[in-house]
Each structure stands twice: as C-alpha cells, then as structure tokens.
Amino acid sequence: MPLGKPRPERADAARNRELLLANVREMLAAGGAGSVTMDALAERAQLGKGTVFRRFGTRAGIFRALLDADERSFQEQVLYGPPPLGPGASALDRMVAYGQARIAFLLDHHSVARAALDRNQPAPAGEATITRVHLRMLLGQAGLNLPDLDTLAVQLTGALEGPLLLYVVLPEPETPPSPAAGRPLAESWSVLVHRLLRAEPGTTPG
C-alpha cells in the first residue's frame, strides 16, 4: 500500500458532504451565516450531529469548505489567467490587479469569509495564505532592494485583507453586496503599492 495515498473518501461520506454543503448554502441564503448552527444543519440534512462535525471538524470549517471551491478558481485566475491578474504583466501591475481582485472576492464572500475565521486558529489556513504567498512572490519579482520581503508580505496581506476581515469597513447587514463598495479600498491599495514599488531616487534600476 503506497503511503502517499491515505485512502479515498468513502462514497457515502462524499455524498453527505455535498448534501451538507447544499443545505448550508440554502440556510445561508435564507437566514445568513448566523442561522447556520450545527444542530439545525444536522437536522435539516437528516443526519446526526456527529456526522457534521466529523465532516468539517468545526463550525468555521464549514465555511472554509464553502469558500474552498471559489477560492480555488480564484487562485487559478491568478496563476494561469490572463494578465494583469495572471502572469505576463509587471509585478507592479499584477500586484495592483491582485488587490483589486481580492477585494472583490472578499466583498462577494464577505459573510462567509468572516464566518470562516476561527478564533484559536491563527490564520484561516487556506484562505489568507493565498494572498501572503502570492504577494511574497510578486515582491520578489519586483526587484526591490529590501532585506525582509517575507515580513513585508505579511504586512501587505494585513493591509489588503484586514479592512474587510478585522476592521469591518462594510456592509450593513442584509445589504446586497454593492459591487462598488470596495472601490476606495482598491484605489488606496493601488496608491500604496505604487509608492512601495517606486524606484529609490538616485538608484539605477536592475
């Protein structure tokens, strides 16, 4: 038995996962993230409560699972899509484009993204890390003459996502997500990145 393959998920488990996620989406649409309780979800899906926890581990885990699919397709746009979000543009342009896209993404998924946060757990594992890793890479490509790009990437992640996840600069409950609500953030992000990546005065680029 090859060690790298920890046995695929059993068919009934997979079926139930989908069933649960479908129910979560419905509950979400009907009553918002607050209405999704483990008990209610279990009952609605006609499953035991233990099953729900076995699938998702924690309440936040449900929302992480929900985010996952969209997050993956978002990531694909970033890695393989057309520039400037995808490869083929300058680091500067890509960073601005990434910020804009990320803000739009977090706006779209605002309620779920916040519900996916887990006090106790440091970083919502999959979710926030995409930003940190990608920004770190772009900083590297930008040819900055700076020592600690890792830390800078963490801080920029905070600048980009913090306003939407921590200091909630948005939206009134039940407000349908206005597409332009993130405009100021995107605008300001662009300024921040432009100034950060701007060449040192009196330095030859290279």
**Which residues here bind a copy of itself, judged by CB under 8 A?**
114, 117, 119, 122-123, 128, 132, 146-148, 150-152, 154-163, 165-169, 184-185, 187-189, 191-192, 195-196, 198, 201
Output DSSP code: residue 161: H
Count of residues in contact with DNA, rule CB under 7 A:
27
Note whether 50 binds DNA by CB under 7 A.
yes
Q: Which amino acid is present at 56?
A: F
Shortest reach from residue 75's CB to a copy of itself, in Å: 18
Contact between 129 and DNA by CB under 7 A: the answer reads: no
Pick out residues in 2-31 that bind DNA (CB under 7 A): 6-7, 9-13, 15-16
Cα(53)–Cα(49) distance, integer angstroms:
7
Helix axes 149-165, 125-141, angle to 10 degrees: 130
Q: For the CB of residue 8, give the shortest distance to DNA in the complex, in Å.
A: 7
Of 200, 202, 86, nearest in space to 143 by CA? 200
Which residue, 47 or 149, has its beta carbon nearer to a copy of itself?
Answer: 149
**Alpha helix locations (H) across the chain?**
11-31, 38-44, 49-56, 59-80, 91-108, 110-115, 125-141, 149-165, 183-197
Q: Provide the 3-class DSSP secondary structure of residue 89.
A: strand
Report CA-CA distances (Å) from 19 to 49, 56, 101, 117, 186.
Answer: 14, 13, 30, 23, 37
Name the minimum Å distance from CB 43 to a copy of itself.
24
Indicate the residue among 113 and 135 with the shorter CB distance to DNA: 113
Nearer to a copy of itself, 5 or 195 (CB): 195
Spatial separation of the C-alpha atoms in residues 48 and 182, rounded to whole Å: 40
Interface residue with DNA among 44, 47, 108, 158 (CB under 7 A) is: 47
Give the residue, chosen from 25, 31, 32, 54, that forms a contact with DNA under the rule CB under 7 A.
54
- Residue numbers of the site for DNA (CB under 7 A)? 6-7, 9-13, 15-16, 36-40, 46-51, 53-55, 57-60
